[in-house]
Amino acid sequence: MATATKTVKEKAVKAVKTKNTYVEARGGRKTAIARVRLIDNESGILVNGKDYVAYFKTPRYCMSVEAPLKMVGGVAAVGKKGVSAHVSGGGMTGQAEAVRHGLATVLARLDPSWRKILKAAGYLKRDPRAVERKKYGLKKARRAPQWAKR
């Protein structure tokens, strides 16, 4: 019984020692929501536990995720910090841009001088565009049924 409590205490001590500090922000696009953290003493960009290149696959989405870091001077400007993002909802484009929005917000909180650069690029504004809802009596949002004279 004594050994079981000892191992639990050792695990708790290890968890306290390895706890990293982080800066967190929320990003959004369409129906996608991303919780992005910039974590000290880590490296790389993880999205839902996978490397961002493996998660998004397409270079266009990867470039979208990397864009805020490139605007502020690359990974060297951030130092020994890793990015961890948890994304849900939407499609791939919405998720990639939600991560971009969250990462830009985190960077702006980390260093206020970067805010001006990121805001000029449009990375701090949540893109409000979304699909228009379908109305009754119509086939789609605006598409009316075909009209026939006879």
Q: Report the pLDDT value the prediction gives residue 10, as an integer from 0 to 100.
A: 56
In a domain, 132, yes or no: no
What b/e readout covers 66-86, taking b as 16+ CB neighbours within 10 angstroms? bbbbebbeebeebeebbbbbe
Q: Report the pLDDT value the prediction gives residue 3, as an integer from 0 to 100.
A: 57
Q: Residue 112 sits in which domain range?
A: 21-121
Q: Report the pLDDT value the prediction gives residue 107, as an integer from 0 to 100.
A: 92
Model pTM score: 0.80
Domain count within the chain? 1
In a domain, 58, yes or no: yes
Q: Report the pLDDT value the prediction gives residue 15, as an integer from 0 to 100.
A: 44
pLDDT bracket for residue 1 (50, 70, 90): low
Q: How many CB atoms lie within 10 A of CB 37?
A: 20
Q: Report the pLDDT value the prediction gives residue 77, as an integer from 0 to 100.
A: 76
| pLDDT reading at 27 higher than 50 | yes
In a domain, 6, yes or no: no
In a domain, 115, yes or no: yes
Rounded Cα distance between 24 and 102, Å, is 8
In a domain, 89, yes or no: yes
Q: Report the pLDDT value the prediction gives residue 20, as an integer from 0 to 100.
A: 73
* pLDDT tens figures, 118-134: 999 999 999 989 999 99
Section 35-41 average pLDDT = 92
Rounded Cα distance between 29 and 94, Å, is 5
By the 8 A CB rule, do 70 and 88 touch?
no
In a domain, 133, yes or no: no
In a domain, 70, yes or no: yes
* pLDDT tens figures, 51-107: 999 999 999 999 999 999 999 887 777 778 899 999 999 999 999 999 999 999 999
**Token code pair at residue 131:** 């699909």
What CATH number is associated with residue 110?
3.30.230.10
In a domain, 35, yes or no: yes
Strands 50-51 and 32-40, bridge-based pairing = unpaired
